[in-house]
Structure 1
């Protein structure tokens, strides 16, 4: 059983990204998504990041809720990450 906390810092860590509050806020500010692009299809992800996100969403995995939270944050014009 995986006991990793399901929150934005740990999701960013899973994606191989810096996961401190400032890094998350900067990422969200610099990677806003238009409504016609699915999160897992965004051009700023690597192939492995896209695969991870798509797999989690398709399988309704433990990360789905946090991925949905990130998706929402990436669609806000002036978001506050935390």
Structure 2
């Protein structure tokens, strides 16, 4: 049985955010995070989105890798 593949598109789909075309890059450029702001504490997440991010981080699998990638990109702004 093949395991599900996780990527930023999957993460954005689960968060209920646009994920087609340049939507992910556009979101990241529009929501840069200050170095001291934790990803899950960003003010642009709904409570449900923040909870999903926390759950995926705790899963410590492919899901966590995608959340980490998003975290790095939001802190770099690209």
TM-score range, shorter chain: 0.7 to 0.9
Which consecutive unaligned segments of at least 5 residues does structure 1 have?
none
Q: Which 10-residue stretch deviates more, 20-29 or 44-53?
A: 20-29
Q: Which runs of no fewer than 5 residues in structure 2 stay unpaired?
A: none
Runs of 4+ in 1 over 2 A off after TM superposition: 1-4
The aligned counterpart of 1:36 is 36
The structure with the greater share of residues assigned to helix is 2
Give how far 1:9 is off. Answer: 0.7
- Count of aligned residue pairs for this structure pair: 78
Residues 29-81 of structure 1 show CA distances to partners (whole Å, capped at 9, x for unaligned) of 0000011111011000000000011122123243100110010100114x2xx
RMSD (Å) for aligned C-alpha atoms: 1.7
The normalised TM-score by structure 2 is 0.88
